[in-house]
């Protein structure tokens, strides 16, 4: 090969690389590129990466739910009646809340979610309210439930400026806008489609489908954005057979539309694809790194990282 040809080849490689990275830089494509680069095996099950324990002397006690707001992980540390905040490496950064019924206090902090401004919403099952804190844990106000509908708020998620909350005693799911007006109500006690017994968690996918964990009926029900029943996921084929779920709790959907359901009494997480076909199970009872012991809350972030609260092991396990 002629020297000249080699030079041309080499400089064209350089030129192409520069053009590639320049394009990424000028068109702000980092965020779209990153997940693709970071994913090792996009089709395989997530792998345990680390756990958030909190301080040695002040560990989590019955963590019930978890969410990521900005770069911090917020955990409802239920038996300690507080919220513990972790950075991504698992260091407990700060905590807020104490036992009580007044502003900034909790009796049973449960569902936890963040809005676009980084404010933290915490549902209290016993106090029957949702407290709003700033990202540093300063109490701002109670969520203005205008019709005073909430009796025992449990699962809580905020998606596209809509607040989704399950009411466990009322056996209902409510959807509010952030100023507290009710947009949608689904449920009532029962076993039929669209009815619940003790709904504990809620998730919303990219198609605005609503997933509600119907713990007492051992199933997850899926609704469209207008609240119309679509299907049941309960571990059986088509969701029409006997459930394999045992006290299902946290539910979350990843970017591919895969649905993850925490199976509290079986100590695992079931994953289903978009069509409801079972993909794999994570966890299993135990105290080792990738095991779970009475897991409850589940959150999946925008990079498809799974955060699951592992109540007896007093940690939040991270799967990626």
The answer to whether residue 44 forms part of the interface with other proteins (CB under 8 A) is: no
Q: Determine the interface stretch with other proteins among 4-12, 50-58, 203-211, 293-301 (rule: CB under 8 A).
A: 293-301
Using the minimum distance from each CB to other proteins, give the nearer residue, 110 or 307: 110
- Nearest CA to 251 out of 266, 233, 239, 265 is that of 233
In the complex, least distance from residue 212 CB atom to other proteins, rounded to whole angstroms: 14
Count of CB atoms situated within 10 Å of the CB of 47: 12
The answer to whether residue 312 forms part of the interface with other proteins (CB under 8 A) is: yes
Token pair 């099950």 is found at 45
- Provide the phi-psi class of 184: left if phi over 0, else alpha when psi is between -120 and 50, else beta: beta
In the complex, least distance from residue 234 CB atom to other proteins, rounded to whole angstroms: 6
Question: For the residues of 226-257, what is the DSSP string, one character each?
Answer: T--EEEEESSSGGG-S----SSEEEEEE-TT-
Asked if 152 and 168 count as a contact pair (C-beta separation under 8 A), the reply is yes
SS3 at position 66 = strand
Using the minimum distance from each CB to other proteins, give the nearer residue, 234 or 305: 234
Using the minimum distance from each CB to other proteins, give the nearer residue, 169 or 225: 169
In the complex, least distance from residue 85 CB atom to other proteins, rounded to whole angstroms: 23
Member of 66, 69, 163, 168 binding other proteins (CB under 8 A): 168
Alpha-carbon separation of residue 129 from 100, 148, 202 (angstroms): 13, 9, 17
DSSP code of residue 79: G
Asked if 10 and 1 count as a contact pair (C-beta separation under 8 A), the reply is no
Cα–Cα distance between 188 and 75 in angstroms, integer?
29
- Nearest CA to 186 out of 178, 197, 194, 176 is that of 194
Member of 68, 157, 195, 315 binding other proteins (CB under 8 A): 195
Residues 217-276 that bind other proteins (CB under 8 A): 217-219, 232, 234, 236, 240-244, 246-247, 249, 264-266
Using the minimum distance from each CB to other proteins, give the nearer residue, 119 or 218: 218
In the complex, least distance from residue 38 CB atom to other proteins, rounded to whole angstroms: 34
The answer to whether residue 139 forms part of the interface with other proteins (CB under 8 A) is: no
The answer to whether residue 171 forms part of the interface with other proteins (CB under 8 A) is: yes
Q: Which sign, positive or negative, has the C-alpha torsion 208, 209, 210, 213? A: negative
The answer to whether residue 82 forms part of the interface with other proteins (CB under 8 A) is: no
Cα–Cα distance between 262 and 300 in angstroms, integer?
12
The answer to whether residue 142 forms part of the interface with other proteins (CB under 8 A) is: no
Member of 140, 197, 227, 290 binding other proteins (CB under 8 A): 197
Measured in degrees and rounded to the nearest 5, phi and psi for residue 309 equal -85, 130
Tokens encoding 315? 């940690």
In the complex, least distance from residue 84 CB atom to other proteins, rounded to whole angstroms: 18
Interface contacts to other proteins, rule CB under 8 A: 62, 64, 99, 108, 110, 125-126, 152, 154, 168-171, 188-193, 195, 197-198, 200, 215-219, 232, 234, 236, 240-244, 246-247, 249, 264-266, 285, 293-294, 296, 311-312
């Amino acid at each position: 090969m002629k020297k000249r040809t080699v030079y041309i080849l080499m400089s064209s490689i350089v030129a192409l690389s520069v053009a590639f990275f320049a394009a990424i830089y000028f068109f702000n494509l980092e965020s779209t590129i990153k997940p693709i680069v970071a994913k090792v095996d996009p089709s395989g099950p997530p792998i345990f990466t680390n756990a958030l324990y909190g301080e040695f002397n002040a560990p989590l006690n019955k963590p019930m739910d978890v969410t990521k707001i900005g770069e911090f992980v917020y955990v409802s540390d239920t038996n300690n009646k507080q919220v513990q905040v972790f950075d991504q490496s698992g260091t407990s950064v700060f905590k807020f809340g104490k036992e009580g019924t007044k502003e900034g206090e909790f009796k049973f902090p449960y569902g936890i979610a963040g809005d676009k401004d980084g404010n933290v919403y915490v549902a209290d099952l016993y106090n029957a309210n949702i407290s709003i804190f700033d990202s540093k844990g300063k109490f701002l106000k109670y969520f203005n439930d205008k019709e005073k509908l909430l009796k025992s708020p449990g699962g809580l998620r905020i998606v596209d400026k809509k607040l989704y909350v399950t009411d466990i005693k009322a056996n209902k799911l409510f959807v509010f806008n952030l100023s507290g007006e009710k947009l949608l109500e689904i449920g009532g006690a029962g076993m039929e489609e669209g009815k619940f017994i003790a709904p504990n968690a809620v998730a919303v996918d990219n198609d605005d489908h609503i997933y509600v964990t119907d713990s007492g009926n051992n199933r997850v029900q899926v609704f469209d954005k207008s609240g119309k029943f679509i299907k049941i996921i309960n571990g059986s084929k088509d969701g029409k057979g006997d459930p394999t779920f045992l006290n299902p709790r946290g539910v979350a959907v990843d970017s591919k539309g895969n649905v993850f359901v925490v199976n509290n009494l079986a100590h695992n997480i079931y994953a289903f694809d978009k069509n409801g076909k079972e993909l794999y199970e994570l966890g299993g009872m135990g105290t080792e790194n990738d095991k779970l012991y009475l897991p409850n809350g589940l959150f999946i972030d925008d990079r498809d990282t799974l955060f699951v609260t592992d109540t007896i092991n007093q940690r939040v396990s991270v799967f990626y």
